[in-house]
Amino acid sequence: MAPPPSPPPEWAELPVDAVLAVFERLGAVEVLMGAGVVCRSWLRAATREPRLWHRVDLTACFDPSVDMEAMARAAVDRADGRLEHFTAERFVTDVLLFYIAERTSCLKSLRLRNCMKISEKGLVAVGKTSPCLEELELTTCTIIILLKAIDEAFPNLKRLRLNNRWFDIQFDEFRDNFHALGIACSMPKLRHLQPFANRLRNNALAAILDNCPHLESLDLRQCFNVDVDAELRAKCARLKDVRFPNDSTKDYEYETSIETPSLDSLPLPFPAAVP
């Protein structure tokens, strides 16, 4: 005679710490989209345990059919003012950044990827309410940063990643170089800098190396305007880790490409002359 089937597991009876351990492995998206409503005890753990929401990463499964911004606001609310790390891509707007700024003052890391609807205003709002912010990443985000605002909003920044894709044109060289000079003036506590595929030049890079005494690592891959001469190598000798423009990108975590757009695809710097 076959033994009776084992009773179903008592999911609702799991201790809170065990449930939270499961949720941490699943990630914020999975908890918000289903795991948190398996039973009442799991829903309680998902909504009333702020420690679960100290770190929110919404990059795992971007779904254009889902209101990702509403999901992000729910995660921020559940953190109950204790959000420390926030990572997202594509859907973030200034409205969401203001929402985060209003509801937390202890953010340490903000990482945004492919976010085309943010501006320096939203970033500054977050920086001003979270003075402990140490890490900022903007990967392929279309944004013009006001240097004075950065100086005021991110005084304790230690890790900065401004990752782009290299365009073989001179359209943005002045802007990128000007921003790099701003980093030199406003971020003396910087320890790690990654301006991947940036169009800064040697003068701005020298200013960064001279004015950021705590800098430990520098990633200049695909920064093809930089001339790696003897003077630059000498300035970089004190750093623990340096990547130069032509170094391998095999361990770079994002897609890389070198693009040469046609002049017809670029916006005109001035209105076209009327014939």
Distance of CA 6 to the CA centre of its chain: 47
Distances (CA, A) of 214 to 159, 191, 203, 228, 256: 11, 5, 19, 21, 29
Domain boundary among the residues 98, 122, 155 is at 155
What is the spatial distance between Cα 200 and Cα 220, in angstroms, rounded to a whole number?
Answer: 10
What is the spatial distance between Cα 208 and Cα 268, in angstroms, rounded to a whole number?
Answer: 31
Please say if the pLDDT value at position 144 is more than 60: no
Flag whether 118 is in a domain. yes
pLDDT in tens, 83-96: 999 999 999 999 99
144 shares a domain with 199: no
- Give the closest residue to 219 by CA, choosing from 200, 211, 231: 200
Handedness of CA 9, 14, 19, 22 (dihedral sign): negative
139 shares a domain with 68: yes
3-state class (DSSP) for residue 223: coil
Flag whether 226 is in a domain. yes
pLDDT at 32: 74
Flag whether 39 is in a domain. no
Q: Which tokens go with 132?
A: 């402990």
**Most confident segment among 27-36, 64-73, 101-110, 179-188:** 101-110
Please say if the pLDDT value at position 251 is more than 50: yes
180 shares a domain with 126: no
125 shares a domain with 60: yes
Flag whether 37 is in a domain. no
pLDDT in tens, 104-138: 999 999 999 999 899 889 999 999 999 999 999 99
163 shares a domain with 143: no
What is the spatial distance between Cα 239 and Cα 173, in angstroms, rounded to a whole number?
Answer: 26
What is the spatial distance between Cα 133 and Cα 127, in angstroms, rounded to a whole number?
Answer: 7
Confidence of residue 227 (pLDDT cuts 50, 70, 90): very high
206 shares a domain with 145: no
DSSP state string for 240-272: SEEE-TTS--TT-SS---EE---GGGSPPSSPP
- Give the closest residue to 75 by CA, choosing from 109, 49, 111: 49
Domain range enclosing 179: 158-167+175-255
Flag whether 141 is in a domain. yes
162 shares a domain with 143: no
182 shares a domain with 143: no
163 shares a domain with 86: no
Flag whether 97 is in a domain. yes
217 shares a domain with 187: yes
pLDDT in tens, 147-192: 556 666 888 999 999 898 776 555 555 566 667 777 888 888 999 9
Flag whether 4 is in a domain. no
Flag whether 45 is in a domain. no
| Count of structural domains, the chain | 2
Q: Report how many helices (DSSP H) and strands (DSSP E) the chain contains, helices first.
A: 10, 10
163 shares a domain with 135: no
130 shares a domain with 66: yes
- pTM of the entire predicted model: 0.80
- Give the closest residue to 136 by CA, choosing from 152, 119, 154: 154
What is the spatial distance between Cα 82 and Cα 231, in angstroms, rounded to a whole number?
Answer: 45
CA torsion, points 28, 34, 38, 39, in degrees to nearest 10? 80
